Amino acid sequence: MSWTTEWTSVIFSDEKRFNLDGPDGFQYYWHCLKQKEQYYSTRQQGGGSLVVWLAVGFGGRSSLVFIKGRQNHKDYIKQLETELLPCGSDWGGENWIHQQDGASIHSAQGVKKWLDDNNVQVFPWPAKSPDLNIVENVWAMLVERVYGQERQYENVKELHESLDSVWNTFCQKDIQNLYDSMPNRVFELIQAGEKYYELLDFTVKLRMEEEIEEVILLPAAILLPRHFGKPQSRLRVQTV
pLDDT score of 53: 97
Residue 72: give its domain's CATH number. Answer: 3.30.420.10
What pTM does this model have? 0.73
Asked whether residue 224 is domain-assigned, the answer is no
Residue 202 falls within a domain, yes or no?
A: no
Phi-psi region of 126 (alpha: psi -120 to 50; beta: other; left: phi over 0): beta
The Cα-based distances of 174 to 93, 169, 209 in angstroms read 19, 11, 30
Determine the distance from the C-alpha atom of residue 82 to the mean position of all C-alpha atoms in its chain, rounded to a whole number: 18
Cα-to-chain-centroid distance, residue 187? 18
Instruction: Evaluate whether residue 118 is within a structural domain.
Output: yes
Tell me 237's DSSP state.
P
Range of lowest pLDDT (40-44, 77-81, 114-118): 40-44
Domain count, the chain: 1
For the stretch 121-178, pLDDT in tens is 998 775 666 667 899 999 999 999 999 888 899 999 999 999 999 999 999 999 999 9
Answer whether residue 200 is part of any domain: no
Please check whether residue 187 lies inside any domain of the structure.
Answer: yes
Task: Please write the tens of the pLDDT for every residue from 7-32.
Answer: 899 999 999 999 998 866 444 444 45
Residues with Cβ within 8 Å of residue 178, at least 6 apart in sequence: 134, 137, 138
Inter-axis angle of helices 172-180 and 182-191, to 10 degrees? 40
Tell me the DSSP string of 76-144: HHHHHHHHTTTTHHHHH-TT-EEE----GGGG-HHHHHHHHHTT-EEE---SS-GGG-THHHHHHHHHH
| Owning domain of residue 151 | 7-192
Domain contains 132? yes
